Amino acid sequence: MSNEINCIALIGKQNNPLYLKNFSNTHPDLKYHYIAHTSIDVIEERVASGPKNLDLYLGLLYAMEDLAVYGYMTNTRVKFVVVVSVTEGIIRDADMKTIFKKIHSAYLSQVCNPFYNLDSQRSIDSKAFIQAIETIGVNANSKATMEI
């Protein structure tokens, strides 16, 4: 087992937490909340410094002890953060991009639900969405390497 997704987090355009899923049992949820929150600053820095940044995928935001944090921001300023535990060398950008695309799809399906209130600051509690995120994490982790 090389790299594993430990956490997927979604942050709204007002930097409110939309959803967080902890896949690992090494760290408590709270730690990932902190990580996601820190990521917001890093993302804003990245975006401010490079206005010609046309890509939604932001790449590696920062790394800590055993974790690497990747970011992705939509044009509507919704941010996705994926925390990966790094045990072996290489995590391919292409793989991360695929994961982010899937998260983006799940988010799109959620947004298209007319009963979902975009402006509410509450987190997402739709069963379909929770299931979709669960599937993304589980599928990514069930492969021996990070090939999707």
Partner 1 sequence: MTSAPSAKQFKALGEEVWKSKVEKINAELFTLTYGSLVVQLVKDYEDYSEVNKQLEQMGYNIGQRLIEDFLARSGIGRCVEFRDTAEAVSKLGFKMFLNITPNVANWSSDMKEFSLIFDENPLTEFVELPEDALEGGLWYSNIYCGVLRGALEMVQMQVETTFVSDVLRGDDATEIRVKLIRYLEEEVPAGED
Tally DSSP H helices, then E strands, for the chain. 3, 5
Q: Which of 30, 48, 54, 112 binds partner 1 (CB under 8 A)?
A: 112
C-alpha distances in angstroms, 32 versus 7, 19, 38, 56, 67?
7, 11, 10, 22, 10
In angstroms, give the least distance from the CB of 63 to partner 1: 36
In angstroms, give the least distance from the CB of 122 to partner 1: 12
In angstroms, give the least distance from the CB of 53 to partner 1: 28
In angstroms, give the least distance from the CB of 115 to partner 1: 5
User: Three-state SS across 42-60?
Assistant: HHHHHHHHCCCCCCCEEEE
Q: How far is CA 21 from the centre of its chain?
A: 9
Binding mask 49-88 for partner 1 (x = CB under 8 A): ----------------------------------------
Tell me the HSE value of 12 on the side-chain side, using a 13 A CA sphere: 14
* Residue closer to partner 1 (CB basis): 62 or 116: 116
Q: Which of 109, 134, 141, 143 binds partner 1 (CB under 8 A)?
A: 109
Per rule CB under 8 A, is residue 90 in the interface with partner 1?
no
